[in-house]
Structure 1
């Protein structure tokens, strides 16, 4: 696992921290926000007295009904984070089971009772849940314990006084009983008690950051255990409450942190002014990740980050790194950032050319300082962003840069081309989420916002987790276009306050955007089947790594090989060049057409130069069956050419003009004795007449998918299906559409 992979996955872990630790304890309530009122010790749930003091986290429900309902939605946390735990099953089935064996009165006593869930390290890299239930009617404790045992024989169930506990660990169950009998519990921890008393009655989650290393060993793959220290140093204790819950969403909001000091990461945002995160308006809608770090005070932010680095013993190394970068670039990272008047920095991750790629984003208050980036150019300051704002900015390959709506985009060539040709921002993430009704996922102002969408890259985003947990999370995203986790730090009266919003949506990607990303033209590598006119058998022709061209029998027996010096452009076709019944092979390389006979000899007057580089082709056509051949090729400048064998464009060839990527050579289609070309682009399918001119206006509601089927209908007409699923009859001569 390389360093960039670890940094990225650690960021994923950070965003999912709250969701993951709620494997067995997610907030669920119909009440919003905190009133700010504090409680007395007697107001705290009795079930908390059964929680041992070594808990990694604790969740309190003020009644059982809310806790059980939290596990009822199988596409949402906590169910998708519960792995193979029996807790969801027990909590869901216990009310019905208890009613069945003990009646409605017992059920009422259970539902009105309180419930606490906690996570504990039980050894061997294992995290165990502990559920404590204190029914409102203490006389039903025995019946509750028996019902739990009946539902799951794997649970260790104990009862003490008016409380029932169950877990998967015998040691943890006995520890809980000792705490109950001795009157000692998590409530005797002064930090925990202080936070619990400051929280409102309802549903509250408490996280012990100092113990999170134990959570890592139980939930994450071994490669990430060394990064637990970041989360342990975020603060000491933190507390979270539910703000709102919808049909397809859950929100958690932090309202308190204890003992935050300068060597803890949350201190980085102390005394900084939140700003509106805007990077999402220059993020492709199909991105799997986006991070926004608004910069209200560059000097203060970098100073806070450096204090955190100093507390971790890493500042001296970073100072040396900045000095090294300054020597190479002739300008220090601080001077560079100041000259751009940076207002926000971000990292986004999206698919380009079939690969998930990182891009750094810089919002420039002074765009002119970035130079002329209307075209792609080499980026001269790699490493500057990471040295100032953190290692997450080292994920991108900082090779090139372009200007995008006041932002400087920095990344590999393929991603920069997506920005330049408009495909990346045909639909931006902010607009897409707004159209999907999910714009509330981002705060109006924040100190930090990180967005993850599991539906865009389920395998990549679940890679940090152990197999069962990763599978459960990925399955939760199945069937959705959006399965997002938006983690934000907003400003509170005592410093940074974390918030996590989970949203699910099956909102369909509008029109054709998802195909527009598919801009890679596949160049076949062979072998190609050719007919041997001497033997009548089918032979195979291919090109070796050393560029030699070879001909073999179908069984692999070699016939000949001929030296060549450059790659073939993805196709080998045949023609009867001498009009004597003997077939030759024709192929392209560079900007030239080559013809070779069945013995491997070049045919004169070839090669013929077409004047510009060929990407794919040729495809040979004998339109009049008179051996007056034409060839179709796709050029590297995204144009199609129909040539004769002397390298001249046909006089009647107009050509097909598009900004979209032409994906392959067009298909020749004959309808009612007329010839048409079916052209496939990254965005759509277009039917052209023989000259290459579209036969109709295929924009808007008449746009066809790249994978559309075209069926002959009657006369000059074909039947087509447009993006909206409607069937049309298209007259290829008049260009008119009519409903089928």
Structure 2
């Protein structure tokens, strides 16, 4: 039996009280032949043992064959990460995960059982007490992906690591004994490698969490002069690759600095940005970002190995890490609305404990959770959601006074195609990614000619009617753009103000040239946008109105909070808002009830 007519075909059969479903007819027919011969997966000793050790199951159960894990890594991480995927191939053969699927989270817990005396990568973690996961406290909120290794006895781990390499007949240049002794005196409890966006590029940074940071500073003082609060040139750029393997070569560790109990390694400009943000007290860490969501309880606070991925920072940024052959799968992943994904391991005796957590505020509307989202609808007419615009975009041609259409081909080509009202192609232009949200036209040069403003990834573009960049655009920002641009002209003088919502959920106001407006205070949205922002005025005082799923917020012209509503009293983005005085507003909730808002 096959279900067709969609982009994906699914085949199913029912035999011996089993419903078997597969996207591959070949796989399904092979399964039927095995059943006919009386053979099945239960004949696999490794699989039978793992089932025996997990007699009770939660609503969802996932079995993972370890021999296939490198293939999965290659499929979703591709180049350059696929060559490092073999480290998770172990003699366990199988891992079982039991868990549940909730409105905002998919959580799995389970373990692998290893035969006595078996050598595998996770044998290197035996005897290591799980360590508190600290890296999230210092990594930027927009961190894309990374892993963290928690060690209570680094010397024992490195001895076991060398034994594991010998067992797989892998040779490497052994680090000098003196260098290992020097490293152990850093008292590391955690070593981490992460991918972080900075400027218009992705960079890798490494960090060490020290149990005794003063002693660690003394160790580095033996090699070069130490300056507090400064980024310094690293005297040992090959330290971590030499000890923990070539994966750390992804980090260009030419510089380092100290922040609290952490030693950070990476590019000079990136480290300066992190250091200055911490010193100024306005640094937004990955731990801060996750703590603002209910995802925190689903993350183990201690483990031996943690791998994490943050699709919410922008799937477009992840594509630069992934083999183009698998781009279609990444595009499909966007339907799941996942914000953070954690896969964590802890080793104990002959068992490896595993934990998986996938969290997303809007996970309930993804295919992972097959149920309807509860929405608040007024008179069955308006739904509480903000729709993104999609190509083709209607663009007014100031020369012909007709509407043109702007098309864009799918990723990875992403070519813009402008056609006039007759369908004639006017020009084509290849871009680095798809347009993120919308296209807004404005008269940037104040000459009654319109230009097109839009965002791609972390860049803001302004093109004229012939597809040429208008200076000083494009503008690149440190984090990708989630929503916008929303363009306003409060004074009516074409001195535009542009609102952008970035991937870290920060709302920021820019001037017409794409620079942050003077005096603007960054505002972290309490939820996702449900309506286009507004700019309203009382006499000479301006006010931003920001509609989110949890609150409607009123900001001053410089981004300071002047008032807000509660979740049950969110304003209808389509309804009128009236001033009754400098400190009082009238609005209508999405349930159609009148509401008075008092401003500070």
Answering whether residue 583 of structure 2 is matched by residue 726 of structure 1, we say: no
| 1:366 and 2:213 matched | yes
State the SS of the aligned residue for 2:98: strand
Counterpart in the other structure of 1:438:
295
Which stretch shifts more, 374-383 or 222-231?
222-231
Cα pair distance change 1:490/1:698, threshold 3 Å: same
Decide whether aligned partners of structure 1 residues 372 and 176 sit closer, same or farther in structure 2, where only a CA change above 3 A counts.
Answer: same
Structure-1 separation of matches of 2:245 and 2:163:
13
Partners of 1:310 and 1:296 in 2: how far apart? Answer: 23
**How is 1:281-360 mapped onto 2 (pairs within 5 angstroms)?**
281-315=137-171, 317-319=172-174, 322-323=175-176, 332-360=178-206
Q: What is the distance in 2 between the residues matched to 1:492 and 1:313?
A: 25
CA RMSD of aligned residues (A): 4.5
How many Å separate the matches in 2 of 1:484 and 1:256? 24
Which whole-Å CA distance do the structure 2 matches of 1:225 and 1:699 have between them?
42
**If you compute each CA radius of gyration, which structure gives the higher value, 1 or 2?**
1
Instruction: Give the drift of 1:710.
Output: 8.2
Q: Hey, what does 1:395 align to over in structure 2?
A: 250
- Contact in 2 for aligned 1:294/1:446 (Cα 8 Å): yes
Match of 2:315 in 1: 458
| Per-residue deviation, residues 664-707 of structure 1 (Å, max 9, x unmatched) | xxxxx999xxxx9x9999996699xxxxxx9xx9769899xxxx
Q: 2:90 aligns with which of 209, 234, 256?
A: 234
CA contact (8 A) 1:376 1:401 kept: yes
Q: In the TM superposition, what is the alpha-carbon distance from 1:435 to its structure 2 partner?
A: 1.9
Say if 1:376 and 1:416, in contact at 8 Å, map to a contact too. yes
Matched residue SS, 2:339: strand
Contact 2:144 2:196 in 1 (8 A): yes
Structure ranking higher in strand proportion: 2
Map 1:534-613 onto structure 2 (within 5 A).
Answer: none
Residue pair 1:728, 1:738 contacting (<8 A) in 2 also? no
Aligned counterparts of 1:505 and 1:334: Cα–Cα separation in 2:
44
Structure 1 counterpart of 2:269: 414
- Deviation, 1:379, is 1.0
Deviation of residue 429 (structure 1)? 1.6
1:164–1:399 Cα change, 3 Å: closer
d(CA) in 2 for partners of 1:162 and 1:296? 49
Q: 333, 346, 362: which one pairs with 1:473? A: 333
Count residues with an aligned counterpart. Answer: 399
TM-score normalised to the size of structure 1? Answer: 0.47
- 1:220-299 correspondence runs (5 A): 229-231=86-88, 233-259=89-115, 263-299=119-155
**2:360 is equivalent to residue 504 of structure 1:** yes
User: What runs of 5+ residues in structure 2 fail to find an aligned partner?
Assistant: 221-225, 364-488, 501-505, 512-517, 526-532, 547-551, 559-581, 586-600
- In structure 1, the gaps of 5 or more residues are 1-147, 327-331, 508-668, 688-693, 731-736
- In the alignment, which residue of structure 2 is the partner of 1:489? 345
Does structure 1 conserve the Cα–Cα contact (< 8 Å) formed by 2:213 and 2:262?
Answer: no
Q: Kindly tell me: are residues 428 and 260 of structure 1, through their superposed partners in 2, closer, same or farther at Cα, counting changes over 3 Å?
A: farther
Cα distance in structure 2, aligned partners of 1:712 and 1:247: 39
Partner in structure 2 of residue 111 of structure 1: none
Secondary structure of 1:466's match? helix
Distance in 2, Cα, partners of 1:503 & 1:422: 27
More helix by share: 1
- Deviations 1:148-195 (Å, cap 9, x if unpaired)? 447789555555554454545554444333332332222222222222
Is the CA contact 1:266–1:496 (under 8 Å) kept in the aligned structure 2? yes
**CA distance in structure 1 between the aligned counterparts of 2:310 and 2:76, rounded to whole angstroms:** 20
When the two structures are superposed, what TM-score results if normalisation uses the length of structure 2?
0.56
8 Å Cα contact 2:115/2:350 also seen in 1? no
Q: After superposition, what is the alpha-carbon deviation per residue over 1:256-280, rounded to whole angstroms, capped at 9, x for unaligned?
A: 3233766521112111111211111
Label 1:282 to 1:474 Cα distance change in 2 as closer, same or farther (>3 A).
same
Aligned mates of 1:240, 1:350 — CA distance in 2: 32
Counterparts of 1:396 and 1:268, CA distance in 2:
23
Q: Distance in 2 between matches of 1:386 and 1:289?
A: 19
What is the aligned partner in structure 1 of residue 47 from structure 2? 192
1:491 Cα deviation after fit? 4.0
Q: What is the distance in 2 between the residues matched to 1:179 and 1:712?
A: 73
Question: For the residues of structure 1 that align with 2:317 and 2:498, how far apart are their CA atoms?
Answer: 34
Do the aligned partners of residues 679 and 333 (structure 1) sit closer, same or farther apart at CA in structure 2, a change above 3 Å counting?
farther
Q: Contact 2:140 / 2:274 at 8 angstroms: preserved in 1?
A: no
Q: C-alpha separation between the residues in 1 aligned to 2:70 and 2:232? A: 44
C-alpha distance in 1, partners of 2:65/2:133? 29
Distance 2:298 2:115 in 1: 29
Shift of 1:348: 2.6
Secondary structure of the equivalent of 1:374? coil
Structure 1: how far apart are the matches of 2:510 and 2:19? 68
The answer to whether the Cα contact below 8 Å between 2:98 and 2:108 also exists between their aligned partners in 1 is: yes
How many Å separate the matches in 2 of 1:309 and 1:444? Answer: 29
Mapped to 2, the partners of 1:199 and 1:409 lie a distance apart of 41
C-alpha displacement of 1:442: 2.3
Are the aligned partners of 1:701 and 1:722 in contact in 2 as well (CA < 8 Å)? no
Change in Cα spacing, 1:493 to 1:270, as seen in structure 2 (3 Å) is closer
C-alpha distance in 1, partners of 2:42/2:490?
Answer: 81
